[in-house]
Structure 1
């Protein structure tokens, strides 16, 4: 069920939610949290779809905040709030409200969102694209127990990670870190089986990959060993190598959803290591809302700058010797010789010496 409201208020939106629940025969509120998505019109559809899929595991009220502030100071847009309320099958397992804020209302989004939060329920704020430099000090971020960003959505992800390290507050997290959960689980299990001392580590990935950078920093923090970043053609993280005195522990995933795990003294195994969807990542983040201390430690760790992976050079091919082309002066002398006819015997020696001088 969908209800469109134009130039509305939070009170009318709450009434529309109650009306929608009664119309579908579910007057009780069965949501466990409030998910606030701050995005633009371009990314709103995909973000809401991912939130609805995650709501199948965590029933929630989803508030999508789409800001449309005034473009110029001379001509200010009238302050207005338009809403689209979705209940029932149109909102997955929860409720969804698309809030389009115009003019001055866009500058005070927290005052619009606050009356729509579920009482006595956790609040999670997610920025699918552009996020503030300090999420905890953002007016909407200050309302949440969990603040989710995504370093993949920015132009310079490694610089953004450096900013996050300086502004981290308990409750902050990033989907670039969430994408590493299968890698970290498999590597921890491999170390338990190998029972070997790690002397160094290598992380291979495409250039400017934030997940690879966080994984390298995690190694530096937890293992206290030198970590090297190697740039490959990708996609995403392609290989992780832990060097030990007994041999290398290697997880290699050049492409696709299958990786190979190699442990010294054991046969090579095939692992399922697919690239997960955004909905799966959001669902994982909603399982635990307490501070992620491992993410905080990885953010603050330091590793060396990545280097490009060496490509084997091609062996030089032998070239057949080529005859030296005659100079223009020599060619002219030869032409003069042919025009003059046969050279008399008494002048043959003199003619030969002149040709040598010409060349």
Structure 2
């Protein structure tokens, strides 16, 4: 039996609004809108109510849920009609449902005009968690797309996740929060294949977009373009905390977590025309530290997007692909710290480097060539780690990201031979 526990002593979420019974959610929201309209008539503000999408946020504890509400506070999107914040409490065996409702608002254009949307918070425990999709279905705005934002790691068994996905148009994850990153990211290709009508995305894929653009810019230079075909080594370093065992920060990020590095490595591998060597060399994998090494070969044409237009076939060329952890106290765990590409063409060497040291807002790009010193360039990447901006970008996207899905498959293949 599932118990409506909204009035239970000890379960207080003041930030979630007014505690209500689940069957009274719509009635209480209507009351809040009427109160808001009365307030407008006695003030100079203009309330804006939009209805573009449903946003379902799923957290596995109260702390994660509260972090999500803070991110929404900074969100510049005006698309949200209703937020349903699900808290799945696996620490309790008793089946309970608790609900809260509130109206939230953000300034648009000026403080005189405010955008309002509804927030419903639902706390589920015990077997009630497995009915999450059915519980929220009547609370969704009809005829609007449903965006599911899954905040934490995937569960050991994905029944709840799969049921929520089946009701969603878009699914957004953040693999930087995976506590077992290599294991969890390998499950995603199968989940995507099982849900062809749902578009998946990852905030970590957005975080590495500026890095992909900077790499492409190296080879936009005519003098450097030939070196794309001669790359023999790629090194990627990701930030970790100075603690030997896996840990989660106060912001919910996990160290070590090489998922950004893995996605970037997969993207570079495809653009360089590299494949895993099957000639018996021993690759190295250490999930506990986030360190990986692969022997690669290239026998086909180079990828043409976005690293240039050369499609020339080359001889079999060997390469090495490294992912390493770097202790970096000032960076979010998992953030890319370094990309170094070594290339040789006609016995001439070139090293292309993007390095991020103590300054989390900027990177230094450099090119080293024999007999030449090229000036370093400082580039800002400040926007790559602000979650509200990453989330805003995801809310603008309706369709599937086929490049991201391809990279997940490449990561799966890189890790499946461990």
How many Å separate the matches in 2 of 1:22 and 1:273?
Answer: 44
Does residue 54 of the first structure (1) align with residue 75 of the second (2)?
A: yes
How many Å separate the matches in 2 of 1:284 and 1:232?
Answer: 29
1:239 is displaced (CA, Å) by 0.9
**What TM-score comes out, normalization by structure 1 length?**
0.73
1:253 is displaced (CA, Å) by 0.8
Per-residue deviation, residues 33-63 of structure 1 (Å, max 9, x unmatched): 1111111212111112213422545434211
Per-residue deviation, residues 240-272 of structure 1 (Å, max 9, x unmatched): 123333612221112321111124675321100
8 Å contact from structure 1 (residues 165, 300) kept in 2: yes
How many Å separate the matches in 2 of 1:151 and 1:217?
Answer: 15
Per-residue deviation, residues 46-99 of structure 1 (Å, max 9, x unmatched): 112213422545434211011346834xxx44x444223224469975221111
Secondary structure of the equivalent of 1:126?
strand
1:20 is displaced (CA, Å) by 2.1
1:118 is displaced (CA, Å) by 2.0
1:19 is displaced (CA, Å) by 2.5
8 Å contact from structure 2 (residues 83, 118) kept in 1: yes
Does residue 277 of the first structure (1) align with residue 386 of the second (2)?
A: yes
Aligned to 1:33: 53
Aligned to 2:151: 128
How many Å separate the matches in 1 of 2:326 and 2:27?
Answer: 54
Aligned to 1:15: 27
Aligned to 1:261: 365
Of residues 175-184 and 84-93 in structure 1, the stretch that sits farther from structure 2 once superposed is 84-93
8 Å contact from structure 1 (residues 52, 92) kept in 2: no
Aligned to 2:340: 241
More strand by share: 2
How many Å separate the matches in 2 of 1:289 and 1:188?
Answer: 26
8 Å contact from structure 2 (residues 235, 341) kept in 1: yes
How many Å separate the matches in 2 of 1:233 and 1:157?
Answer: 18
Instruction: Give structure 2 stretches of 5+ with no counterpart.
Output: 1-14, 38-45, 108-113, 240-255, 275-318
Aligned to 1:188: 216
Of residues 40-49 and 191-200 in structure 1, the stretch that sits farther from structure 2 once superposed is 191-200
How many Å separate the matches in 2 of 1:135 and 1:107?
Answer: 7
State the structure with more CA Rg.
Answer: 1
Secondary structure of the equivalent of 1:144?
coil
**What TM-score comes out, normalization by structure 2 length?**
0.63
1:124 is displaced (CA, Å) by 1.0
Instruction: Tell me: CA distance 1:205–1:67, structure 2 relative to 1, closer, same or farther (3 Å).
Output: closer
Instruction: Give structure 1 stretches of 5+ with no counterpart.
Output: 306-359
Secondary structure of the equivalent of 2:147?
strand
Instruction: Tell me: CA distance 1:100–1:55, structure 2 relative to 1, closer, same or farther (3 Å).
Output: farther
More helix by share: 1
Aligned to 2:261: 212
Q: How does 1:1-359 map to 2 (within 5 A)?
A: 4-9=18-23, 12-25=24-37, 29-39=49-59, 40-54=61-75, 56-68=77-89, 71-72=92-93, 76-77=94-95, 79-88=96-105, 93-102=116-125, 104-132=127-155, 138-169=162-193, 170=196, 171-193=199-221, 194-198=224-228, 199-200=231-232, 201-206=234-239, 207-225=256-274, 226=319, 227-234=321-328, 235=331, 236-244=335-343, 245=345, 247-256=350-359, 257-263=361-367, 266-274=374-382, 275-302=384-411
Instruction: Tell me: CA distance 1:13–1:28, structure 2 relative to 1, closer, same or farther (3 Å).
Output: farther
Instruction: Tell me: CA distance 1:166–1:110, structure 2 relative to 1, closer, same or farther (3 Å).
Output: closer
How many Å separate the matches in 2 of 1:287 and 1:27?
Answer: 22
Of residues 121-130 and 46-55 in structure 1, the stretch that sits farther from structure 2 once superposed is 46-55
How many Å separate the matches in 1 of 2:192 and 2:16?
Answer: 38
How many Å separate the matches in 1 of 2:151 and 2:158?
Answer: 15
Instruction: Tell me: CA distance 1:80–1:232, structure 2 relative to 1, closer, same or farther (3 Å).
Output: closer
Secondary structure of the equivalent of 2:121?
strand
8 Å contact from structure 1 (residues 70, 104) kept in 2: no
1:304 is displaced (CA, Å) by 6.6
1:102 is displaced (CA, Å) by 4.8
8 Å contact from structure 2 (residues 129, 160) kept in 1: no
How many Å separate the matches in 1 of 2:406 and 2:227?
Answer: 21
How many Å separate the matches in 1 of 2:147 and 2:362?
Answer: 33
How many Å separate the matches in 2 of 1:18 and 1:285?
Answer: 29
Aligned residue pairs total: 299
8 Å contact from structure 1 (residues 151, 210) kept in 2: yes
